A and B are shown apart, each in its own frame.
Chain A
C-alpha cells in the first residue's frame, strides 16, 4: 500500500521544552498506527502539527508526496486529514445532526432556508454507514460520554478524510463501545484509510494497531510492527523500565491481621446499585471492576454520601455510622478522590490552598487559620508525595497531570482518612506518574488504611489490588483474590467473563 502522509525532520520547541525533535516517519494507506509514549512525549504536539493547530519550527509535511503547509485546521481537512481531539467539541444545545454538519449547514437549504429534514437525512446516512444507532434529532446534551465520542467521530468522518487521527478517543468509552468503534476503524482501514491512534491503554494498542510509533521525550524511539513485540517490551521502549517495577510489591496477605474495618450492608440505589454487601479490611486494597457504568462510581459516591441511597448501612468496626453528606463522611475519616480532577482542584488557586482545603478545620483556632501549622503540614505532605513545583504558591494550573493528582492525594491525606475511596486514580497519567500513584496507594495500605478503588484498566486490576470485586448491572457478581501474577491470564478471562455475564 502506498504512503499517504510523511513527516520529515519535524521539530518543535516551547519555552523551556523541546517538545519534538527531528521526527521522521510516514503513514501508509490501510495502516493503523498507534502513537505511544508517556505524557509529554510529544504525541499531542505531533497531532496538533498534523492538524495545523500549531506550526513546527522546522521540518516538512508531505501528503501523497507533495509538500504541504498546514496553516490551520480547515487546511488540514482540505488535505484529507481529520481528527477527534481529546477535548469535547460538541455544542450541547444543538441536535446531533446539526453538530455533525456544523459549519456546513449552508448545503442543506431549500430556497435559502435551512431544511431540517435534509440535514437529518444526511446525518442518518452518515451514522448508518458507521453502524451507530443514535437518534440524530436528539440534543447533544442528552448523549452519554460514549455517544458523544461516537458523534465526534461521525462529525470527522463527514469530510471523508484519508488520514484519521484519534486522540484518546477510548478514554470515555465502555468496553462495548470500544469494540464497536474498533470494528468501524478496522473497516475504514480496509477501505485504505490511514489511522493514527493514541491511547494510554496498551491492551487496545495490541488489539487494534498494526504498527506502533514510540515517542519518548520528544524523540522518536522506533516504529515497529505490533505483532513483533510484547506488552512488556513496548512499555520498556516507552519508559525504559520494566512492568514489574511499575507496580509495587505486595506484602503477602497472610502476614497482616485482616481486621474488617469498613462494612457496607444492603446498599441500594434504585436503578443503579442493588443490595451491595462489601467488607474492606484494614490495609487492604479492594478494586471494583467490571464494565464501565455498571455502578462502580455510584458505589463510591454513595459511601461518601455524595449521592443519596435508597437503603443501606455503613459500619465501622461493627458500629453503624450515618454518612449522608461529604461533611459527615469527612468526620468519619472517609476520603474520596474522584476521577474528575476538575471536581477536586481549584485550578487557579495555589497548591497550598488546594491541599489545605479539605482539612481546614483541623488547623484552626476559633475559625482562624493557623498559618504556620498549615505551611508546615502542606510542605511536609508535598515532600512525602514528591510534588514537583517551583513553590507551594504556584497555581495548580501550571502543574503536570501527575503532580496535579499528587496534589489531590495530599489534599485528602491531610484529612487523615482511614478509608480512601479512589475512582480511577491513575487515569490519564503517563507511565511514570501512574507508577508513582500505585506506589502511593500501596504505601497507604501498608500504613493501615483501607482502600476502595474503581479500576478499568486490566493491567491495573491484575496487579494493583489485593481483591477484585466485579460489578454488573449494579450487583456484585464475583470476587477474586489477587495473589500473584502467575495465573493472570486465567484470572483476566474470569474477570472479563463475570463483567459481561458469561458463565
Chain B
C-alpha cells in the first residue's frame, strides 16, 4: 500500500530514470556529463514556463500566451540589453507580468474564457514581437551569456542551480503558502473558494501575472542560449508546457497535482530529443514519442482512478 502511494507520487521520476538507463545502454555518448548539462540547459526554460502554466492549470484555467510572451521577452532583451543591462533584464520581466496581469483581469473580472483570452493575447504578443524584430538577431552582451552559461569543468552550474531553486520555490509556494492553498481550492471549485472567504479575483489575476512573469524569465534565459532575440522561438512552448504539466500528474480541470511531477516531465521531454539525436533516429520521431508517452501515462492514471472508484462502490 505504502509502495503504491510512493510510486503514485514519484512515477514520473521512476520513468525518467528508466529512460535514462535505457538510453545510456543504447549509446555511450549519453553517459557523458555534457549531455546531462545540455538536458538541464534546455529543460530550464520549459520548466519556468511550465511553473506558470502549472499554477494556471491548477487554478482551473489555461494560458496559451506563454510562448509568445517568451518570444517577445527575447526580442525586447535583444533590443535593450546593448544600452543598459538592467533595463534589458527588467523590462521584459515587467512586460511579461503586465501581459499576464491583463490576461488575469480579463479572465477573472470580465469572465472571458481563458482559452480564448490567452489565445488572442498569444497572437497580439507574437505580432508585436515580429514588428520589433521580424528576423532573429540583435545583441546579447557576452558577459550576460557567460554569467548564465559559464562552464566550470564542463558543468554549467548556474542553470542547474536556477532549476533546483525554481523547483523548490514552486513546490513550496503550492504546498506551504496560503496562496498555494487558495489556488488548489479555486481550481477545485471557485464557488467553494469564494464562499470560504478567498479573494478569487485577486488570486486568479496573480496566477496569470506569475505565468507571464515566468515566461518572460524563460525568455531572458533563452536569449542568452541563442545569443539573440527571436519572436517565434516560443511557438512550441504553450503545448509543451501543458504536456509537461499534465504528464506530471496535474489534472487539466484543476485542483489536483503538484510541481515536482511537472519538472520530471520536463526532464523527460527534453531528454527524448537528446536521446533520439544521439542514437541517430530521425528527430521527428520525438514528436510521436512525446504524444504517445503523454497518452499512455494519462491512460494508466485514469485506469488507476477507475479502479479506486469501483472499490468504493
Contact = CB atoms under 8 A, between A and B. Distances in A.
Closest 8 CB pairs of A and B: A330-B197, A346-B188, A358-B196, A360-B178, A357-B196, A326-B197, A327-B197, A367-B177
Contact of B312 (A327, A342, A398): A398
Contacts of A329: 197
Nearest to B180: A369
B171 interface: no
Contacts of B197: 326-327, 329-330, 358, 415
A349 B188 contact: yes
Contacts of B198: 327, 357, 360
A371 interface: yes
A357 B185 contact: yes
Interface string B194-232: 111111000000000000000000000000000000000
B184 A368 contact: no
Given A358-B196, A411-B196, A415-B197, 17 more contacts: A306-B195, A336-B195, A343-B189, A344-B192, A348-B255, A348-B256, A349-B255, A353-B181, A353-B185, A356-B181, A357-B181, A357-B185, A358-B197, A360-B178, A368-B178, A369-B177, A398-B312
Interface in A8-50: 14-15
A15 B182 CA distance: 35
A345 interface: yes
A349 B196 contact: no
Interface in B150-191: 176-179, 181-182, 184-185, 188-189, 191
A177 interface: no
B311 interface: yes
B110 interface: no
Contact of A371 (B176, B192, B193): B176
B313 interface: yes
Nearest to B312: A398
A361 interface: yes
Nearest to B189: A346
A364 interface: yes
Contacts of A360: 178, 181-182, 198
Contact of B311 (A15, A330, A338, A367): A15
A398 B313 CA distance: 11
27 contacts: A14-B313, A15-B311, A306-B194, A306-B195, A326-B194, A326-B195, A326-B196, A327-B197, A329-B197, A343-B192, A344-B192, A344-B195, A345-B192, A346-B184, A346-B185, A346-B188, A346-B192, A348-B188, A353-B181, A353-B185, A358-B196, A361-B178, A367-B179, A369-B178, A371-B176, A397-B312, A411-B196
A53 to B, nearest CB: 10
A356 B194 CA distance: 14
A353 B184 contact: yes
Contact of B178 (A338, A343, A367, A371): A367
A411 B185 CA distance: 13
A333 B83 CA distance: 55
Interface in B8-43: none
* Residue among B177, B178, B312 with most chain A CB within 10 A: B178
Contacts of A411: 196
Contacts of A346: 184-185, 188-189, 192, 255
Nearest to A327: B197
A372 to B, nearest CB: 12
Nearest to A54: B313
B174 to A, nearest CB: 11
A338 B184 contact: no
Contacts of B189: 342-343, 346
* Residue among A347, A349, A397 with most chain B CB within 10 A: A349
A306 B178 CA distance: 22
A369 to B, nearest CB: 5
A347 to B, nearest CB: 8
Contacts of A361: 178
Contacts of B199: 327
Contacts of B184: 346, 349, 353
Contacts of A15: 311
Contacts of A371: 176
A357 B198 CA distance: 9
Contacts of A398: 312
